[in-house]
């Protein structure tokens, strides 16, 4: 399924987004990507889901090709409000929601801000960290980076992206924090590093909003039917059961086969079934 690119203007500037080229009928699925990259990371899943529904995936402000936030310290509420304004500018009235990692925290705030516009919601990997981990990640995970005359930002971005494939958190580079995965492919490393470099001065803002999000206070207020999930290799999979326990009437599941074509097709089928019926079928 072909995915096209476009821009829409809101007060911060232009928001870049990807969408299905020949959208199927039905309610659009609004997809919010993980940090630190952009909607590019959602392309494989978008192609699978676009066979049965329209899909739209914006680059979060300050990521990818979207304009930066207009405030110094944006929080998840700000990113959610900006996403809703992008929907308004595109003439999109109602959506189902998908959020991955950082995008999951933003999706929660969208569902709280305007629940009447949301059908069903999928949280694909949500970090349910304790206060000590949140403080650690806010201090160490996403440093502010400024380009310099020696180009150290290029070296830093490559290793930042590479080490996330090997360690969690990536800055604890020891055996205890190994993820046990093969090295990411060179193509995946290159693509993600380029996306980070596009927004090198602002990539960290969405990360910090996610780490600071008061998720344990906010999740019990959600009244949108929700599926909480993660792939079996996702370092945030421990948050699935924790988040589901706080979400009234939610479903949750850990999915196997991350990275394989068959695993991706199965995941898309599980998500599509939930979006169509509100029930979980494996």
The single residue listed with the structure tokens 């996330």 is: 164
Which domain does 55 fall in, by range?
A: 3-129+213-277
Q: Is there a domain that residue 171 lies in?
A: no
Q: Is there a domain that residue 163 lies in?
A: no
Cα separation, 154 vs 112, in Å, equals: 38
Q: Is there a domain that residue 94 lies in?
A: yes
Cα separation, 176 vs 168, in Å, equals: 9
Which of 123, 83, 121, 78 lies closest to 105 in space, CA to CA? Answer: 123
Q: What is the CATH number of the domain that holds 61?
A: 3.40.50.1820
Q: Is there a domain that residue 72 lies in?
A: yes
Using alpha carbons only, give the angle 79, 80, 86 rounded to the nearest 5 degrees.
90
Cα separation, 161 vs 166, in Å, equals: 10
What pTM, to 2 d.p., does this model score? Answer: 0.97
Please, where are the H alpha helices in the chain? Answer: 43-49, 76-90, 102-113, 131-140, 152-166, 186-198, 203-212, 215-218, 239-246, 261-277
Q: Is there a domain that residue 261 lies in?
A: yes
Are residues 253 and 229 in contact, defined by beta-carbon separation less than 8 angstroms? Answer: yes
Q: What are 171-225's pLDDT values in tens digits?
A: 999 999 999 998 889 999 999 999 999 999 999 999 999 999 999 999 999 999 9
Q: Is there a domain that residue 135 lies in?
A: no
Helix 152-166 × helix 186-198 angle, to 10°:
130
- What are 121's strand-pairing partners? 97, 226
Task: Look up residue 240 and give its DSSP letter.
Answer: H
Total structural domains within the chain = 1
Q: Is there a domain that residue 115 lies in?
A: yes
Q: Is there a domain that residue 208 lies in?
A: no
- pLDDT (tens place) for every residue of the chain, 282 residues total: 799 999 999 999 999 999 998 766 789 999 999 999 999 999 999 999 999 899 999 999 999 999 999 999 999 999 999 999 999 999 999 999 999 999 999 999 999 999 999 999 999 999 999 999 999 999 999 999 999 999 999 999 999 999 999 999 999 999 999 999 988 899 999 999 999 999 999 999 999 999 999 999 999 999 999 999 999 999 999 999 999 999 999 999 999 877 778 888 999 999 999 999 999 987
């Amino acid at each position: 399924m072909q995915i096209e690119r476009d821009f829409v203007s809101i007060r911060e500037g232009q928001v870049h987004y990807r969408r299905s080229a020949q959208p199927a009928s039905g309610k659009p699925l609004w997809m919010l990507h993980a940090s630190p990259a952009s909607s590019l990371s959602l392309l494989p899943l978008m192609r699978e889901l676009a066979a049965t529904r329209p899909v739209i995936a914006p680059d979060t402000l300050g990521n990818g090709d979207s304009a930066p936030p207009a405030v110094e310290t944006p929080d998840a509420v700000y990113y959610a409000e900006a996403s809703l304004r992008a929907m308004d500018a595109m003439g999109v009235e109602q959506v189902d929601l998908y959020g991955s990692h950082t995008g999951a925290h933003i999706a929660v705030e969208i569902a709280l801000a305007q629940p009447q516009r949301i059908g069903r919601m999928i949280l694909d990997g949500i970090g349910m960290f304790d206060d000590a981990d949140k403080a650690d990640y806010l201090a160490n995970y996403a440093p502010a980076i400024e380009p310099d005359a020696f180009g150290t930002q290029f070296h830093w971005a490559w290793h930042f992206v590479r080490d996330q494939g090997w360690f969690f958190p990536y800055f604890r580079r020891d055996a205890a924090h190994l993820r046990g995965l093969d090295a990411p492919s060179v193509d995946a490393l290159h693509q993600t590093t380029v996306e980070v470099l596009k927004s090198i001065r602002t990539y960290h803002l969405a990360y910090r909003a996610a780490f600071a999000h008061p998720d344990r206070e906010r999740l019990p207020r959600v009244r949108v039917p929700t599926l909480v999930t993660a792939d079996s290799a996702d370092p945030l999979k421990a948050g699935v059961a924790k988040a589901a326990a706080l979400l009234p009437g939610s479903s949750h599941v850990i999915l196997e086969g991350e990275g394989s074509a068959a695993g991706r097709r199965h995941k898309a089928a599980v998500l599509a079934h939930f979006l169509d019926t509100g029930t979980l079928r494996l």
